[in-house]
Amino acid sequence: MPATATAPRQPRTAIPKAPLLDTLRALVDDRGQRVDMLSRLQRLHDEKGPVVAQNVGMFRLVYLFGPDANEFVLLDRDRLFSSRRPWMAIMGRIFPNGLLLRDGDEHKQHRRIMHGAFTRPALRQYLERMNPMIARGIDGWTERREPFLAFRAFKELTLDIAASIFVGVELGPKTTRMNGVFEDLVAASMSRLRLPIPGLEFHRGLKGREFMVDYFRRLIPERRAGGGDDMFSRLCRAESEEGERFSDADVIDHMVFLMMAAHDTTTSTLASMTYELARHPEWQARLRDESRAFGRAALEFDDIERLDGLTLVMKETLRRYPPLPVIPRVALREFAWQGYLVPEGAMVVLSPIHTHHMPEWWAEPQRFDPERFTPERAEDEKHTHSWVPFGGGLHLCIGYRFAELQVKSIMHQMLLRYRWTVPDGYRMPVQQAPISKPLDGLPLFLAPV
């Protein structure tokens, strides 16, 4: 049944509710929910159907499963949904007022200002600055007899790049400290016990936010007066058509959120790609040959879209390991969906990770198969919203082109320098939420090619 914003007074059918045992698990087993969110979502969908209600703590959730639901909610043609309200409830004390946490005209205005930092000319400049940083970073990994933890290495590299491009600074020794701060921020955003008790993850997140706020606040006067072209400087000088400028708080909120998003999600994708290429050496060899064919150690901007094999692998990795497994919205008014009436105020939850593993849309969805994205098969083109790792609609990730640029540039240089494997019999243990990552740091063996 097509969706409509004009709902009957009564639902034709009561929304199926998640089993009580599942609800109790969701309340009690916080770590289990983070590690394997997919199995739980598949179970709810298989047992209850495409619309499932559940009360979890203070949240009244309604899960909408499948590409049609993704399209309806993400495009939001009838302006039924708020992105700000759920994200503020989830992470508002840690990441208040980032771009994702804004709605309506305010979101449009802030996004328009930020867009200037992600144009093709800007991306071209970023790549030129990024390439030598990548070379220095990965040259230091060298050949190792003992496995080294790739996830941590990627985090340090991507945070250094984000600091240089978005803040205009070189972190150097501060990288390790700031990485720890961002880990605390992300973990705190998912905390169930949101009390500032020393030693608990939510308290660590609050302290981490204080550290980041102080870091950016001290730099603002200099950046407002200067002429830098990094994102931080742009936000400090930005003005609306009416001559209004961002407050210090606006600038800080955007920068804390942007820095987190710019390196955490990219690190997630790099780790997952590296793992899959270790498990599938035929694809690693294919991509190495592709990179060698360019005849240069570092990619140029026009090369990015010509890496056909790497594009296939990146898409398949984002299908299997979307950085954000779920996307929440709050219903601003009641609406009908597939015969069910969803009440005003409900938190509507979409799930990219579930959609990406639906056998109705993907052949053998548990199998790593980059060829599914070739023009001959084009499984992602069966529906416009069956592959949604970057969200969609007005809140489509503003930095997805930057993420693609960064991931491909790092992978290109890795392929030219190293051949990598994982220990015999190894399977990467994945934490799927709040951001997909390996629980053990992803041990790799590196050897020069």
Span 148-181, pLDDT tens digits? 899 999 999 998 998 888 888 888 777 788 888 8
Structural domains in the chain, sorted by start:
99-324+367-448 (1.10.630.10)
**177-191, 263-277, 352-366, 428-442 — which is least confidently predicted?**
177-191
**Predicted confidence band at 210 (pLDDT cuts at 50, 70, 90)?**
very high
Alpha helices in 140-200 (DSSP H): 150-162, 174-189
DSSP string, 125-137: HHHHHHHHHHHHH
Q: Are 235 and 287 in contact (CB under 8 A)?
A: no
Query: For position 12, what pLDDT does the model report?
Result: 58
The tokens for 269 are 């994708």
Q: For residue 370, which amino acid is it?
A: P
Closest CA to 97 of 214, 254, 220: 254
Q: Are 189 and 205 in contact (CB under 8 A)?
A: yes
* Rounded-to-integer distance, Cα 184 and Cα 198, Å: 13
The mean pLDDT value for 402-411 works out to: 96
Cis peptide upstream of residue 173 (ω within 30 degrees of 0): no
Cα-Cα-Cα-Cα torsion 157, 159, 164, 166, nearest 10 degrees, comes to 140
Choose between 28 and 127: higher pLDDT.
Answer: 127
* Rounded-to-integer distance, Cα 380 and Cα 373, Å: 6
**Predicted confidence band at 346 (pLDDT cuts at 50, 70, 90)?**
very high
Q: Which residues pair with 419 in a beta bridge?
A: 447
Question: 286-314: b or e for each residue (b if 16 or more CB lie within 10 Å)?
Answer: bbbebbeeeeeebbebebbeebeebbbbb
Choose between 113 and 53: higher pLDDT.
Answer: 53
In this model, does residue 2 exceed pLDDT 60? Answer: no
Q: For residue 187, which amino acid is it?
A: A
Q: Is the pTM of this model over 0.85?
A: yes
Other CB atoms within 10 Å distance of the CB of residue 321: 24
Query: For position 337, what pLDDT does the model report?
Result: 94
Q: For residue 76, which amino acid is it?
A: D
In this model, does residue 11 exceed pLDDT 80? Answer: no
